């Protein structure tokens, strides 16, 4: 009986070199017996082995033995090679032959996401068992929490986003980093804030003729400064939609804001309009209509200015309105707006739009004569100093518009980047975590679909960019909010998480 050795290809995970199977051994044994020569002739002519039950039983037993020996020989040969060894002791023996010493076995670690009830802050004891569901590539894994871990209620729903960056709006939508207080249907006044100008003191006087020219130029400059308003009115828009998005508020208006707020070097502000009124007017002339003929411009036209008493409707520091401002409360500010004749380098200063936001020092109610003997209830606002918008109106005679406004809101649009960049990376957490339990680690899913573990520290005070709304200091360039989110710096710490967890968890498999 003879068999050819099997050809073993390389790269096998399990060695396949069995000499033959049970049926191969049985057929080969019967064939050898029947072909053996006895007294000069084949034994098969005298003895039918396959037809003899006793002989066939003996042959089958021998085939079983031969197959077992072949199988164990194959297994023993497989354990002699590292790629095909199946027994851990054989692997250690083979590795030891080449001087390899394996490290101590380490349990795998992973993160566990925990959902808690609103306001709940449970303590997760060490040893709590959790199970990772199975996948097509691996079976289900059972883990245990490595250390006792305290969960905090303020971590529920915590969201990390890239730090918003200032950008010019491209449509009717503005993204505010904090709630501006605008509601659907509100009117909002947009202004461009200007730097204050004007000389502090007059030049010294002397009898020299050149000093007279210096004084003349100084008075002209002072006049120009008095005519320069603190802001330029841009538009009044109405809120169409308001959506809260990841700690920011996205407000959609009824007009395109891109052309109005397009210059990143300028400072824009927005004010919610509570109510509005115009400067009061009165009838200035009356024309007598004769029974026959046309009225005469000299004899039939009567000027009515001499018939009025009381204050003028416009002064440089006061204005009489065409209605009573019942919504104006003490301490509330108003925006006095002269919409002018347009914008451009060729337009005189007195004809440019002007806006001053100030708090009236006095609000009095009076009966305003719109015609001799005919009065309407009105309001008179007195201010502590001259307003450029009123000063221009006293010269041009144009009416002004007075808006009772809410707090000052920086009219800066922000975009949310699609990726976290920088080293160290800066993230914005929403809602802002409490100071008593600072966030120490954050996990982020990268574009490859795997998770990165980041060590997190609060950003310095200089990175807390926006002041609270309403009369605060001007916004510095390139700032982001702290009232609805908390920036933090996050250097990567590697893929292996620390042995403790909060919000998410670290666990070890059993």
Q: DSSP string of 80-93?
A: TSTTT---HHHHHH
**Residue 144 predicted with pLDDT over 50:** yes
- Of the ranges 289-293, 361-365, 436-440, which one carries the lowest mean pLDDT score? 289-293
Q: What is the pLDDT of residue 473?
A: 37
- CA dihedral for 359, 362, 367, 371, sign (positive or negative): negative
Which carries the bigger pLDDT value, residue 487 or residue 72? 72
The DSSP symbol for 306 reads G
**213-236 burial, b for 16+ CB within 10 Å, e for fewer?**
eeeeeeeeeeeeeebbbbbbbbeb
Which carries the bigger pLDDT value, residue 312 or residue 337? 337
pTM (two decimals) = 0.61
Mean pLDDT, all residues of the chain: 77
- Please choose, from the candidates 249, 252, 246, 264, the residue with its C-alpha nearest in 3D space to the C-alpha of residue 162: 246
**Residue 450 predicted with pLDDT over 50:** yes
pLDDT tens by residue, 149-185: 888 887 777 778 888 889 999 899 999 988 999 999 9
pLDDT tens by residue, 345-373: 456 677 888 899 999 999 998 888 878 77
Place of tokens 């967890």: 501
Q: What is the pLDDT of residue 210?
A: 58
What is the number of other CB atoms lying within 10 angstroms of the CB of residue 323? 15
**Largest Cα span, the chain:** 168
CA distances to 155, 497, 504 from 440, in Å: 12, 12, 12
Structure tokens at 437: 């339990």
Residue 245's pLDDT band, with cuts at 50, 70 and 90, is confident
d(CA 125, CA 129): 10
The DSSP symbol for 500 reads -
Which carries the bigger pLDDT value, residue 510 or residue 89? 89
**Residue 397 predicted with pLDDT over 80:** yes
Which carries the bigger pLDDT value, residue 204 or residue 192? 192
Mean per-residue pLDDT, 233-257 = 93
**Residue 203 predicted with pLDDT over 90:** no
Q: What is the pLDDT of residue 467?
A: 43
d(CA 454, CA 310): 72
d(CA 167, CA 229): 26
What is the number of other CB atoms lying within 10 angstroms of the CB of residue 389? 30
Q: What is the pLDDT of residue 131?
A: 86
pLDDT tens by residue, 215-242: 455 444 444 444 566 888 999 999 999 9
Mean per-residue pLDDT, 442-459 = 79
Mean per-residue pLDDT, 286-310 = 72
Structure tokens at 298: 């000299």
Residue 469's pLDDT band, with cuts at 50, 70 and 90, is very low
Q: Which helix (H) or strand (E) holds 249?
A: strand 248-253
Phi and psi torsions of 227, nearest 5°: -85, -5
The DSSP symbol for 434 reads P
d(CA 438, CA 457): 8
CA distances to 29, 32, 70, 71 from 2, in Å: 10, 10, 13, 17
Mean per-residue pLDDT, 57-62 = 88
Which carries the bigger pLDDT value, residue 175 or residue 496? 175
Q: Looking at the DSSP assignment, which residues form a beta bridge with residue 165?
A: 415
Among 59-63, 270-274, 435-439, 454-458, name the most confident range: 270-274
In what order do the strands lie in the sheet containing 457-458? 159-162, 425-430, 486-490, 457-458
- Of the ranges 77-86, 237-246, 292-301, 420-429, which one carries the lowest mean pLDDT score? 292-301
Mean per-residue pLDDT, 416-437 = 78
Q: What is the pLDDT of residue 496?
A: 31
Instruction: Answer yes or no: are the C-beta atoms of 138 and 157 closer than 8 Å.
Output: no
Mean per-residue pLDDT, 489-495 = 41
What dihedral angle (degrees, nearest 10) is formed by the CA atoms of 144, 150, 151, 154?
A: -160
- Of the ranges 37-46, 200-209, 218-227, 442-451, which one carries the lowest mean pLDDT score? 218-227
Q: What is the pLDDT of residue 186?
A: 95
**Residue 508 predicted with pLDDT over 50:** no
What dihedral angle (degrees, nearest 10) is formed by the CA atoms of 60, 66, 72, 75?
A: -100
**Residue 293 predicted with pLDDT over 50:** yes
Q: What is the pLDDT of residue 188?
A: 96
């Amino acid at each position: 009986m003879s068999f050819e050795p099997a050809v073993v290809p390389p790269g096998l995970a399990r060695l396949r070199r069995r000499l033959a199977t049970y049926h191969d051994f049985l057929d080969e044994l019967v064939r050898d017996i029947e072909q053996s020569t006895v007294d000069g002739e084949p034994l098969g002519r005298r003895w039918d082995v396959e037809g003899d039950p006793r002989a066939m039983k003996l042959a089958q037993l021998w085939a079983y033995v031969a197959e077992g020996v072949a199988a164990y020989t194959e297994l023993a040969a497989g354990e002699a090679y590292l790629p095909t060894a199946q027994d851990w002791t054989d692997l250690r023996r083979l590795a030891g032959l080449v001087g390899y010493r394996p490290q101590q076995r380490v349990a795998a670690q992973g993160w566990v996401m925990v959902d808690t009830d609103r306001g709940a802050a449970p303590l997760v004891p060490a040893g709590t068992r959790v199970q990772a569901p199975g996948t097509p590539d691996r079976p289900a894994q059972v883990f245990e929490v490595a250390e006792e871990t305290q969960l905090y209620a303020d971590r529920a729903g915590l969201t990390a986003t890239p730090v918003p960056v200032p950008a010019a709006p491209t449509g009717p939508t503005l993204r505010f980093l904090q709630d501006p207080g605008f509601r659907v249907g509100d009117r909002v006044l947009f202004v461009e804030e200007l730097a204050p100008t004007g000389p502090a003191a007059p030049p010294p006087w002397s009898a020299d003729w050149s000093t007279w020219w210096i004084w003349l130029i100084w008075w002209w400059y002072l006049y120009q400064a008095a005519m320069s308003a603190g802001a330029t009115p841009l538009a009044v828009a109405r809120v169409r939609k308001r959506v809260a998005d990841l700690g920011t508020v996205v407000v959609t208006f009824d007009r395109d804001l891109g052309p109005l707020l397009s210059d990143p070097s300028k400072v824009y502000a927005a004010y919610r309009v509570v109510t509005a009124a115009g400067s009061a007017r009165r009838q200035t002339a009356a024309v007598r209509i004769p029974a026959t003929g046309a009225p005469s411009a000299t004899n039939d036209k009567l000027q009515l200015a001499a018939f009025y008493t009381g204050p003028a409707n416009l002064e440089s520091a006061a204005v009489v309105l065409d209605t009573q401002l019942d919504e104006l409360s003490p301490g509330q500010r108003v925006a006095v707006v002269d919409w002018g004749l347009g914008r451009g380098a060729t337009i005189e200063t007195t004809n440019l739009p002007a806006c001053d936001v100030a708090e009236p020092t006095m609000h009095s109610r009076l009966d305003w004569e719109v015609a001799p003997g005919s009065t309407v209830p009105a309001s008179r606002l007195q201010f502590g100093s001259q307003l450029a918008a009123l000063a221009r109106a006293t010269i041009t005679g144009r009416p002004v518009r007075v808006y009772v406004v809410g707090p000052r809101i920086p009219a800066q649009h922000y975009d949310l980047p699609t990726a976290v960049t920088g080293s160290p990376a800066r993230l914005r957490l929403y809602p802002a975590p409490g100071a008593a339990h600072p966030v120490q680690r954050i996990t982020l899913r990268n574009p490859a679909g795997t998770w990165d573990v980041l060590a997190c520290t609060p950003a310095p005070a200089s990175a807390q960019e926006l002041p609270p709304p309403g009369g605060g200091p001007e916004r510095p360039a390139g700032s982001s909010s702290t009232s609805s989110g908390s920036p933090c710096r996050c250097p990567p710490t590697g893929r292996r998480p620390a042995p403790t967890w909060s919000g998410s968890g670290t666990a070890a498999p059993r």
